[in-house]
Amino acid sequence: MTRVDKITGVGYYGSNTIFSDFADTDGDGTGTKNAIGNYAGGQEIFYIQPPTGVVYRVHRMLVSYEDAAGMQAQEYGNTGDALTNGVQIRIQNDTETLSDITDGVPIKTNAHWGRMCYDVDVKSWGSGNELLCARWTFAKSGAAIVLDGSRNERLEILLNDSFTGLISHYFLLQGNIV
């Protein structure tokens, strides 16, 4: 699949072309991007995967979720509780997990994003909803995450809890096409 420039509508591949794509349920931008479903009965995977013949270098992931005001460290969003199973992030291909980025310790609370990506902030404007934003810069750990489409490699966000109490819940992945 060729990526399409959002301004010109022209398809392209190019060395060092920047991408900024939300993880979705189809991995190519065509699936559901807002992860606010009830996945407690069965795991849902949001992911990004380059097409065959294309390599992505993923430099960072921006996580954002919105909920009613009053988010606390020990809950996820403003739900009053931690997640039961939590958010897991991994590099996967068709046959195996290549790397468990969360190292078997899922993110179950607002505060847990801080142990994985130092940049975490709750945005509050004095009234209305709040927005938690986390910036996980993989490249700061020594190298970007490399995904080879010819090997069916993908970055996956595994969800196995209910997120129906959230207003929005997104995972934006940014990097370049090699």
Sign of CA dihedral 106, 34, 128, 162: negative
* Extents of the domains making up the chain: 20-177
DSSP state of 152: T
Between 34 and 7, the higher pLDDT residue? 34
pLDDT value at residue 92: 98
pLDDT tens track for 79-135: 999 999 999 999 999 999 999 999 999 999 999 999 999 899 999 988 899 999 999
pLDDT bin (cut points 50, 70, 90) of residue 1 is: very low
Q: 3-class SS at 114?
A: helix
pLDDT value at residue 118: 86
